[in-house]
Amino acid sequence: MTIPIALTIAGSDSGGGAGIQADLKTFSACGVYGASVITALTAQNTRGVSGIHEVPAAFVTAQIDAVFSDLDVKAVKIGMVSQRAVIEAIVAGLARWSPRHVVVDPVMVATSGDRLLVPDAVDALRRLLIPRASIITPNLLEAAALLDDTVATSEADIAKQGERLLALGCEAVLIKGGHGDGPQSTDYLFRSDGVVQLAAPRIATRNTHGTGCTLSSAIAAGLAKGLTLEAAVREAKAYISAAIAAADRLQVGHGHGPVHHFHAFERK
């Protein structure tokens, strides 16, 4: 059996709820083999981030080349990349190996509120990495930060920011509505040919650690399996919604717990 392969390039979460750990769980749950390139180590749990240890850019390059020289990677998900030198190393690796699908989750702030992206790396993210993306997946806060703008509070504001983010050079933008208000959590998929809204009931839970990592990884998994972009986004939206709905059954940690990545495999 030949299994689709997806690669995550991101930071490690020692608490297991986000980052590399969430990505690999998501790949497995979605029927995709997961490989990984670690950009940073975090000392982290459900309560917050207490330390970050950066991986040298040269070793990020070594990991990228080791994976691509052996594995048939169908899609790449890129998460936490907090240093300019690491972003430059990733961009060079993408140019060298030319993966078909690149999903960029512009991770800037953890669920706990801890900032994960240093300011001097934001410009490199905008200018170098985003133009290589098949899709970027910012939440409302990250979309505003990428544009040096205020957080969108209306559908009209979201539409303007979506168009501005598209202008940075990526093929598509998914602005996530999880930080919004109201009974529905609506995501907005922007492409050159229009906008698609994807709504799901907003779920009342504090266990949302790793939701952004999980959604972007699920999109990458769908693309690795050969789905169209819109189909991959729709499937990923359904997956993360179910994972959040099942999160309270896990009871992990004392802060913002993880979503339930393997909810579909839980014994009834």
Q: What share of the chain is helix, strand, coil (3-state, %, to 5)?
A: 40, 25, 35
Domain that holds residue 109: 5-261
> Of 218, 255, 194, whose CA–CA distance to 75 is shortest?
218
Q: How confident is the model at residue 205 (pLDDT cuts 50, 70, 90)?
A: confident
User: Does a structural domain hold residue 267?
Assistant: no
The domain total for the chain is 1
Question: What's the CATH code of the domain at 60?
Answer: 3.40.1190.20
User: Does a structural domain hold residue 200?
Assistant: yes
Active site (annotated) includes residue 212:
yes
Name the catalytic one among 8, 111, 208, 214.
208
Active site (annotated) includes residue 208:
yes
User: Does a structural domain hold residue 28?
Assistant: yes
* 179: three-class secondary structure by DSSP: coil
Active site (annotated) includes residue 213:
yes
Question: For 208-267, how does the pLDDT look when each residue is reduced to its tens digit (9 = 90+)?
Answer: 888 999 999 999 999 999 999 999 999 999 999 989 988 889 889 888 888 989 888 876
User: Does a structural domain hold residue 193?
Assistant: yes
Name the catalytic one among 212, 222, 225, 257.
212
- Alpha-carbon distances, residue 2 vs 30, 31, 32, 35, 97 (angstroms): 15, 11, 10, 15, 21
User: Does a structural domain hold residue 268?
Assistant: no
Residue 109 pairs in a beta bridge with 115
Residue 114 has pLDDT above 60, yes or no: no
Name the catalytic one among 77, 93, 177, 213.
213
Tokens 């501005």 label which residue? 164
Residue 57 has pLDDT above 60, yes or no: yes
User: Does a structural domain hold residue 52?
Assistant: yes
